[in-house]
A and B are shown apart, each in its own frame.
Chain A
Amino acid sequence: MKQTRTFVVHVEDQPGVLDRVASLFRRRSYNIDSLNVGRTHEEGISRMTIVCETDASVARRIEANLYRLVNVLRVDDITDSPRVERNLALIKVSAGPDVRPQVLQILSTVGARAVDLGPDSVVVEATGTHEEIERLAAVLAPFGILEMVQTGLVAMTRAAERPQLSRGEAA
């Protein structure tokens, strides 16, 4: 049964590593819903959050195939783990002085905020799950969305343990 699965992948911070991971997904026809990559607190280690729609058997092979990459340190399929997930979006809304109070009212209701006010527009910053962002965008759509960007999902388990990076194990 297909479901949305979230992988946390720790990799060596080296040129071409993103290319290797992306190439793997492309080559094996695993469809990526979102991919986020950034540095961690540890020197030389980057962390990816990869979301894709797939079944458990393919998910296990995605994990095994990621482990075949020499620069991949650790792979965790955290789909079934208690976790925190966030997506950050910037939405530029067409909002002249006449409708601006309405826009700001919506933002304060949903916990989003305006990070830039222009004469005719507002840049909104929102964090949340993909669905929450989508709902906010739908509410703002009638005002006119000029531009929108999302980071893709970043996720972290709630467990109080430090991922062992020196020698990970495939499931």
Chain B
Amino acid sequence: MNAPLPRSGALHAPGTVLTGAEILWESLVRVGVDVVFGYPGGAIMPAYDAMARYPMIHHVLVRHEQGASHMADGYARASGKVGVCVATSGPGATNLVTGIATAMLDNVPMVCITGQVPGALIGSDAFQEVDITGVTLPITKHNFLVRRAEDIPRVIREAFYIAASGRPGPVVVDITKDAQQGSCAFEWSDAPIVLPGYRPERAPLARELEEAKRLLDSAERPIILAGQGVIRAGATDLLLELVGKRDVPVASTLLGLGGFPATHPLALGMAGMHGEAWVNKAIQEADVILALGMRFDDRITGNPKTFAQKAKKIHVELDPAEVDKIVKVDVALVGDVRDVLAQLVPTLDEKRRPAWLARIDEMKGDSAVRDIQALPDEGRLYAAHVIHDLWRLTEGRALVVTDVGQHQMWEAQYYKHDHPRKLLTSGGLGTMGFALPAAIGARFALGPHPIGGADPTEVWVIVGDGGFQMTACELSTIAQEGIKIHVAIINNGYLGMVRQWQELFYGGRYVATPMKSPDFVKLAEAHGVRGMRVTARAEVEAAVREAQASPETVVIDFRVEQEDSVYPMVASGKDLDDMIRRPERKHNPIYETGED
């Protein structure tokens, strides 16, 4: 018979002699952790055994450690707090790697705790030994190998501080089994952390601010390019103030969506490879670009040599290593977006720009009449329709987690995010399999699930049939936790984005992209959640409403048009306004959002 697990726990007073495993949980509680995502194994067993004495931390048992890292990531993106995952040594630790790299590329604060073989065995190729600090060195903000119980409190404090401060990122804390088993007097300090080589705070110089103001004052056709830094810094209100004063239209990066309300009259939408036509054109026509908390990713710039040639560029960015990396800028304001805007915005006077806004409206209006949303229902089910309907039925307030590929771009085009932290997606690494586990993490960040109609705390996964199968095992985690998430599979029977590239750039040779999937309805039911199938536009609303009203997780298999493509598209390395357009109506029944 199983030994009963304790129902309540209390922290020990500093000075008490505890095991390293207990000290780990004492430390995690003290830095504010309330949920961890993990999977046990030999080298982390002492920590798991001690965990039962700390029920104030909820442990979510995942089905694969990659899921644990994405859950910690989703929790962090949704909450702004540090997400935590736990795994054993060796394969447990290496299974976290994709999730760690995902978090690194998107600046997600995360702490990954891994067990390590006993210190005496390190370097001996012991069972389940892997040099995880070595493996994760290039994909973490920092990492630690802890060999002694007494070092655990300091390392946990430092790890959380490093993960969350400055430009956030993942931190790995690898703890040997004997450090978990060893005992020492538990010491805890709340004193400020001093790391002599770590300097997360930065501020621009006065003359740089003046130069930025001078450029902004001189602008006739300015554009703001808003990235994730706006969301991280919580600078939406200042951005709204700036836009209100100066009539500056705002284009967003993928990760910047929601940092500026999408339904604001001056919101342009997403820029870049699958940005709307008017956004990319406006960028190429702009004379001043104010880039806020973004890093000129190649998916945003197209050919960097021809990117926004007419524009003077002001780059507000926390990390000086990003300045001039891809695009040479005229002024760099190195600092937190909120701090910089707080200094800059009050110095700017009001200015109206009817000519520039009229020019953009002209480009926009031309596209609006051809918008796919305006097309009549011809009996086909298009992904764009499904996502548009989801936006409508969730009143634009849901937290949406997308995977990677066509559906991700359609979501970015058709789900209008008005609030920050409501779109979670793997932008930098482009990790398929991210969505479902990240949504589980987000669910824990937002608290208990709503049942009924549209609710700002409902969580929707939008995922392709390929990406869903990469981490579908986490449906069991959902069932075991009794949580509710809505899952919309945009099922086109292909690895759609790769298929699209094959259609456009590889002579239509569909190599290894047609994909047979299991019956997703039965798969959902086999995992103990509900499954539904939708094959026509007319069925979308009822299915979404039914999912919202259901007390349990519902997986909806949307069988969409198989060979639809995302338009417009800037081919890799091409100029930003050199866009591939959707073929005309006589060749293809749907139009893109942009002009032809």
Give A contacts to B, CB under 8 Å. 11-12, 15-16, 19-20, 23, 27, 57, 60-61, 64-65, 67-73, 165-170
Contact = CB atoms under 8 A, between A and B. Distances in A.
Contact of B162 (A64, A70, A166): A70
Interface of B: 133-134, 137-138, 141-142, 145, 162, 195-199, 202, 319-321, 323-325, 328
The 3 closest A-B pairs by CB, nearest first: A64-B321, A64-B320, A70-B142
A64 B141 CA distance: 14
Contacts, number: 54
Nearest to A74: B197
B199 A27 contact: no
Contacts of A64: 319-321, 323
Nearest to B202: A170
A61 B321 contact: yes
Contacts of A61: 321, 323-325
Most buried by A among B145, B162, B198: B198
Given A12-B197, A57-B324, A167-B199, A68 B137 contact: no
A20 B144 CA distance: 12
A170 B320 contact: yes
Contact of B133 (A16, A60, A69, A72): A16
Contact of B197 (A11, A15, A19): A11
A70 B197 contact: yes
A65 B141 CA distance: 11
Contacts of B133: 16
A57 B323 CA distance: 9
A70 B320 contact: no
Contacts of B202: 170
A166 B198 CA distance: 10
B197 A23 contact: no
Nearest to B320: A64
Contacts of A67: 199, 320-321
Nearest to B133: A16
A65 B196 CA distance: 16
Contact of A19 (B134, B141, B142, B328): B134
A123 B182 CA distance: 52
Nearest to B138: A27
21 contacts: A16-B145, A19-B134, A19-B137, A20-B137, A27-B138, A57-B324, A57-B328, A64-B320, A64-B323, A65-B321, A67-B199, A67-B321, A68-B141, A68-B319, A68-B321, A69-B197, A70-B162, A165-B196, A166-B196, A170-B199, A170-B202
A71 B138 CA distance: 14
Contact of A72 (B137, B197, B321): B197
Contacts of B321: 61, 64-65, 67-68
A167 B324 contact: no
A31 B133 CA distance: 24
A167 B196 contact: yes
A47 B575 CA distance: 45
